[in-house]
């Protein structure tokens, strides 16, 4: 199934040709009744024998292709249609008796093989048993029919072989469907990842832009010089956000803890929130430096947007980063744990076996806390 359209993918020409060849190769078993029909002394018997065997062979191949098409698309084979088709094959085989005499029983090989491919195991077993017994019973009732024991062996061998073919076709179809589903899920995961990255990048940048634009609007009549500086900063942030989006479209954006701490200082200052930031950043492995950077970005964005805080504190240790404030805090301990940015942060932390904690900073219900901690032995 196509991962974008949801429609089944077209079968390749080579595989389609292989399917026809697989069906046609079984027609070898019709060589004996065809020879018998061609050796008939009466023309009408020759015509009846050849025409009915041709119709039988064509019907069998078309029936096999129909069933194979359904199996390829993991669709159930309608039992009623399958039963009618098998009865049609038996009827055409019986109609060939005037031209093939006792050799018409060769058609039972195809009936048994078709039953294995079309019907359930129990139903197929019954049909195969009947097809194996009919030549023996017919030879007993009609002494001129000879060699029918060979047909019985052919029925059993063909049924066994068709059982393997049918199971192989089923497994291949299931494997192909599983591979296509994996591809579809990979595309969905990549889209979700891109959405998370764009949210994390633009959410922070646009929040700071909005705050600085609001500040510039208040200052424009009071302090035009500072207002102009804030507008220039808005322009710089907008250009930086655009550059981030372009980097994200091309590849993962490189996020560092030092860079995010610098951005946090600017964002908190623009929002009028006092900042307590670490003077130094410890040496961290690249993946942990990136994860801690995303934590600072997400935590500061939430503080600026929702907290109403007067002070924000960021603490960084070799195994932990923590962002907290003295604002109103979440309404419940996990009220903000399902935010889209926090979902993305949890997924990033999970890749490194890190633990994300979201909740209140104080027991009195005030303040907000976001902590990412590396368990012992995780680094």
Give a yes or no: residue 29 inside a domain.
yes
pTM assigned to the model: 0.45
* Those residues with Cβ within 8 angstroms of residue 286's Cβ, 6 or more apart along the chain or in another chain: none
Within a domain: 154: yes
Report pLDDT for 336.
47
178 and 278 fall within a common domain: no
Last residue of one domain, picked from the residues 183, 217, 242: 183
Task: Specify the range with the lowest mean pLDDT, choosing from 147-161, 170-184, 328-342.
Answer: 328-342
268 vs 141 pLDDT, higher one: 268
> Helices 107-118 & 43-72, crossing angle to 10 degrees?
20
Asked if residue 223 is part of any domain, the answer here is no
Tell me, yes or no, whether 178 and 315 share the same domain: no
Answer for the pair 345, 298: CB distance below 8 angstroms, yes or no: yes
Query: Using one digit for the tens of pLDDT, what is the confidence trace for 276-287?
Result: 999 888 888 888
* Residue that terminates a domain, selected from 144, 161, 183: 183
93-136 pLDDT tens trace: 889 888 888 788 888 888 888 888 888 888 888 888 888 888 77
Predicted pLDDT of residue 101: 82
Predicted pLDDT of residue 4: 38
Q: Which domain holds residue 278?
A: 273-379
If asked whether residues 168 and 279 sit together in one domain, one would say: no
Q: Do 278 and 177 belong to one domain?
A: no
Residue 40 and residue 172 share a domain: yes
The pLDDT of residue 3 is above 50:
no
On whether the CB atoms of residues 279 and 262 are closer than 8 A, the answer is no
The CATH number that applies at residue 318 is: 3.30.565.10
Answer yes or no: is 62 within a domain: yes
| pLDDT score recorded for residue 361 | 76
In a domain, 299, yes or no: yes
Whole-number pLDDT of residue 6: 43
Residue 307 lies in a domain: yes
Any idea what DSSP says for residue 333? Answer: T
Among residues 149, 183, 217, which one ends one of the domains?
183
Let me know whether 62 and 178 are in one domain.
yes
Q: Are residues 282 and 148 in the same domain?
A: no
List, for residues 268-324, the tens digit of each pLDDT value. 887 788 989 998 888 888 889 989 998 998 888 888 877 778 899 999 998 999 999
Asked if the structure places residue 293 within a domain, the reply is yes
- Going by C-alpha positions, the residue among 370, 369, 371, 365 that lies closest to residue 331 is 365
Kindly report the backbone phi and psi dihedral angles of residue 204, in degrees, each rounded to the nearest multiple of 5, phi listed first: -70, -50
Q: Are 293 and 260 in contact (CB under 8 A)?
A: yes
| 149 within domain boundaries | yes
Handedness of CA 115, 108, 169, 161 (dihedral sign): positive
Q: How many structural domains is the chain composed of?
A: 2
């Amino acid at each position: 199934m196509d991962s974008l359209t949801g429609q089944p993918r077209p079968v390749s020409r080579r595989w389609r040709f292989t399917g026809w060849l697989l069906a046609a190769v079984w027609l070898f078993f019709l060589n004996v009744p065809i020879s018998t029909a061609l050796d008939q002394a009466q023309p009408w018997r020759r015509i009846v024998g050849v025409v009915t065997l041709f119709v039988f062979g064509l019907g069998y191949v078309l029936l096999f292709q129909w069933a194979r098409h359904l199996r390829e698309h993991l669709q159930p084979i309608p039992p009623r249609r399958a039963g009618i088709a098998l009865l049609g094959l038996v009827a055409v085989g019986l109609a060939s008796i005037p031209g093939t005499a006792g050799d018409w029983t060769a058609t039972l090989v195809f009936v048994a093989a078709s039953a294995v491919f079309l019907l359930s195991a129990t139903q197929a077993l019954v049909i195969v048993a009947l097809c194996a017994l009919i030549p023996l019973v017919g030879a007993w009732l009609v002494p001129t029919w000879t060699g029918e024991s060979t047909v019985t062996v052919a029925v059993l061998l063909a049924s066994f072989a068709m059982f393997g073919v049918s199971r192989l076709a089923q497994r291949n179809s299931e494997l192909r469907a599983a591979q296509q589903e994996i591809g579809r899920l990979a595309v969905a995961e990549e889209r979700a990842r891109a959405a998370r990255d764009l949210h994390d990048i633009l959410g922070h940048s646009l929040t700071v832009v909005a705050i600085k634009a609001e500040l510039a609007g208040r200052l424009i009549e009071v302090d035009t010089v500072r207002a102009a500086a804030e507008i220039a900063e808005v322009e710089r942030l907008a250009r930086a956000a655009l550059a981030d989006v372009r980097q994200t479209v091309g590849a993962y954006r490189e996020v560092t803890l030092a860079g995010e701490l610098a951005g946090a200082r600017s964002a908190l200052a623009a929002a009028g929130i006092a900042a307590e930031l670490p003077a130094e950043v410890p040496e961290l492995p690249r993946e942990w430096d990136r994860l801690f950077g995303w934590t600072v970005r997400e935590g500061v964005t939430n503080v600026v947007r929702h907290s109403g805080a007067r002070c924000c504190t960021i603490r960084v240790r070799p195994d932990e980063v923590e962002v907290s404030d003295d604002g109103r805090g979440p309404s419940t301990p996990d009220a903000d744990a399902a935010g889209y940015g926090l979902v993305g942060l949890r997924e990033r932390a999970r890749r490194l076996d890190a633990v994300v904690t979201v909740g209140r900073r104080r027991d009195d219900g005030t303040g907000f806390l976001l902590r990412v901690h590396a368990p012992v032995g995780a680094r």
